[in-house]
Amino acid sequence: MVKPIFILSLPRSGSTLLQRLLMMSGYCSSLGESSLLLRFLGGDSVLARRATYWEFLVEMGLEDARAAWSGFDQAYYAGVQDLMNRIYMGLSDGKEWFIDKTPRYSLIAEEIIKVFPDAKFIVLWRHPLAIAASMSKTFLKGRWALDDYENDLYEGFVRLDSFCRKHSDCICQLRYEDLVSEPVDQLSRLGEYLGWDSLPCVLKDELVTTAGGRLGDPTGVKKYSKLSDASCNVWHEQYNNWFRRRWARKYVSGDHEKMMENLGYCFPPELMQVSGRVSDIWGGVLDWKYSTKRRQRKFRSPNWVSRVSKKFYRQNGYYVSFR
């Protein structure tokens, strides 16, 4: 039977890089970001699925089944495990291990370990402010409006931190910054956790060009053919106006600040500096206007609804409603 490895991280944390490194070992196979477990797990309010049916009716049905039969969860999780093992076997290409990597798995990590208690779990951390900057640059063309990623930056971060504290004895935690600056040490530690010999040897070769599938890092795969620490600190440059620095100070506060300190992260001192440059002031105003306008438009009429509904109608012949 194929053994699953789950890479858990927030988006833009370097998980595709780690996936490519592990695939080069010859021990495992993978397929982009399968996201399959998001369909079967995550029945709480954090996951709001876009579907042709009323999601809240499914949630009510599941709650009724649990109330009527105490063995429902055990049977359901066993069914999910059997199904996914068959899928992993089919996708493994004869390898002993299969890597399942999807950033939003951070929201359902506790359920995944219930379904796969014997699997290997690798948690990859990155400075949250670096993640936010990368989201802006990659997904928003440099604009600052992170509403669509608050689930990851807030709830995902909290859940992943809780998962690590609860299961610290059976998982392996890495920091992206350490992986790219001390790759031999980090891969040796990871190889010991997985039981793989000579994992650091993969550093001698160029990275595989793809992990398969259409989902995954759209930039790093094209930009880097070798492990590089070039992106470690350049994200500081993204916090180039008062609006972004204010967002960062608000994010790094309270429980978030304590969690970050436990991971060895802090608020960069250079972001505390106040600049009176016109570009700083005007750039902040533009970010504020864009973020406010996007948020108002989202509450008034989510911009993806009409576009996705029309596309769905063209493909299927009927319209679909979204929660």
Gyration radius from the chain CA atoms = 21
C-alpha distances (whole Å) from 154 to each of 126, 134, 290 are 14, 16, 21
The two three-digit tokens of residue 91, written as one number: 């996708």
CB atoms within 10 A of CB 206: 10
The two three-digit tokens of residue 255, written as one number: 């429980």
- Cα 60 from chain centre: 28
Amino acid making up residue 249: R
CA atoms within 13 A on the CB side of 115: 25
- pTM, 2 dp: 0.86
The two three-digit tokens of residue 48, written as one number: 């709001």
- The CATH classification number of 3-316 equals 3.40.50.300
More confident residue, 209 or 13: 13
Q: What are phi and psi of 321, to 5 degrees?
A: -100, 150
Read off the DSSP letter of residue 203. G
The pLDDT tens digits for 262-279 are: 999 999 988 877 666 777
Question: How do the domains of the chain map onto residue ranges?
Answer: 3-316
The pLDDT tens digits for 191-201 are: 999 999 999 99
C-alpha distances (whole Å) from 30 to each of 66, 104, 126, 318 are 34, 17, 22, 35
The two three-digit tokens of residue 279, written as one number: 């570009």
Read off the DSSP letter of residue 101. E
Q: Is a pLDDT exceeding 70 seen at residue 35?
A: yes
Amino acid making up residue 225: S
For the chain, report the end-to-end CA distance as a whole number of angstroms.
39
The pLDDT tens digits for 222-257 are: 666 677 777 788 899 899 999 999 999 999 999 999
